[in-house]
Chain A
């Protein structure tokens, strides 16, 4: 089984987290740590690229719920990109598209940050 990995890149003032594998109750703490590091560094403009994520459960979605308010209070956002349809479906089932910026492509998210 493939496990989980999160890689961090930057593009200008935007931090990009590329998630890979499966995100469930076992692996969600790794993503939480990655978010916590960004917040500790006062990096509040965050893009999460889901291109290589093959599975997500509500424990994974919970990570995005836990940090978004704090990040927005600091003028930032978490923008979610490049989701496979089966990943988007889980976000959609729980109503995330009305509260989160979900975009087709990482570059679109970076451009939105740079334009704001």
Chain B
């Protein structure tokens, strides 16, 4: 891996229009450290899903709050932490939704956490509502 900065940190208002900027940074860092395009795309999507959850659920659409994205580069992996100070949730209660059932009732959401778990190699949650909720996502280089 080329000699490069080991940490990138982004503190950004909880506005949906900022998702593209977050994806752009994450994708560029992932590519720079050696992930092929398809893997970099998966990392971008996982981080988008985590940030979208913060905007929609943790902050309930309030755009005056802050999302923190920390990207750490290790020699064999990329670690990305998305943090907020909003409402928490119980990650153990999040199940893969039955898509057929969701469609029947017109449910449009509930896919984000499942996607994150599918796209990344390791996902951990630390939930302290109002103080600090954090999703830590890891992708190994090989």
Question: Real complex partners, A and B?
Answer: yes
A22 within 8 Å of B by Cβ? yes
Q: Tell me, in angstroms, the Cα distance from A70 to B107 when the chains sit together.
A: 12
Number of interface residues of B (CB under 8 A): 32
Q: Which of A63, A67, A86 contacts B41 (CB 8 A)?
A: A86
Say yes or no: A86 contacts B38, CB within 8 Å.
yes
Residues of chain B with a CB closer than 8 A to A94's CB: 99, 111, 114-115
- Report chain A residues within 8 Å CB of B49: 57-58
- Total chain A interface residues with beta-carbon distance under 8 A: 26
Q: Which residues of A contact B93 (CB under 8 A)?
A: none
Is B103 a contact of A24 with CB atoms below 8 Å? Answer: no
The answer to the question of A93 belonging to the interface, with a C-beta cut-off of 8 Å to chain B, is yes
Contacts of B48 in A (CB 8 A): 24-25, 57
User: B67: which A residues are within 8 A, CB to CB?
Assistant: none
Verify A66–B52 contact, CB threshold 8 A: no
Cα distance A6–B16 in the bound complex, in angstroms? 18
Which of B56, B104, B109 has the most chain A CB atoms inside 10 A of its CB?
B109
A65 lies within 8 A of B102 (CB): yes
B19 near A24: Cβ-Cβ < 8 Å = yes
Q: Is the CB of B106 within 8 A of A57?
A: no
Q: Is the CB of B19 within 8 A of A58?
A: no
Which residues of the partner chain A approach B109 to less than 8 Å between Cβ atoms? 58-59, 62
Chain B contacts of A57 at CB under 8 A? 19, 45, 48-49, 52
Q: A residues within 8 A CB of B106?
A: 65-67, 69-70
Q: Does A1 contact B (CB under 8 A)?
A: yes
Contact of B21 among A1, A63, A99 (CB under 8 A): A1
Q: A59 to chain B: which residues have CB within 8 Å?
A: 52, 109
Complex CA–CA separation, A62 to B104 (angstroms): 13
Q: Which of B20, B104, B111 contacts A61 (CB 8 A)?
A: B111
Which 5 interchain pairs have the tightest Cβ spacing? A62-B108, A26-B16, A58-B111, A66-B108, A25-B52
Residues of B within 8 A of A (CB): 16-17, 19-21, 23-24, 38, 41, 44-45, 48-49, 52, 55-56, 99-100, 102-109, 111-112, 114-115, 118-119
Could you name 8 residue pairs across A and B whose Cβ atoms are closer than 8 Å? A57-B19, A58-B52, A58-B109, A58-B112, A59-B52, A68-B103, A69-B105, A93-B119
- Point out residues on A near B: beta carbons under 8 Å: 1, 22, 24-26, 55, 57-59, 61-63, 65-70, 86, 89-90, 93-96, 99
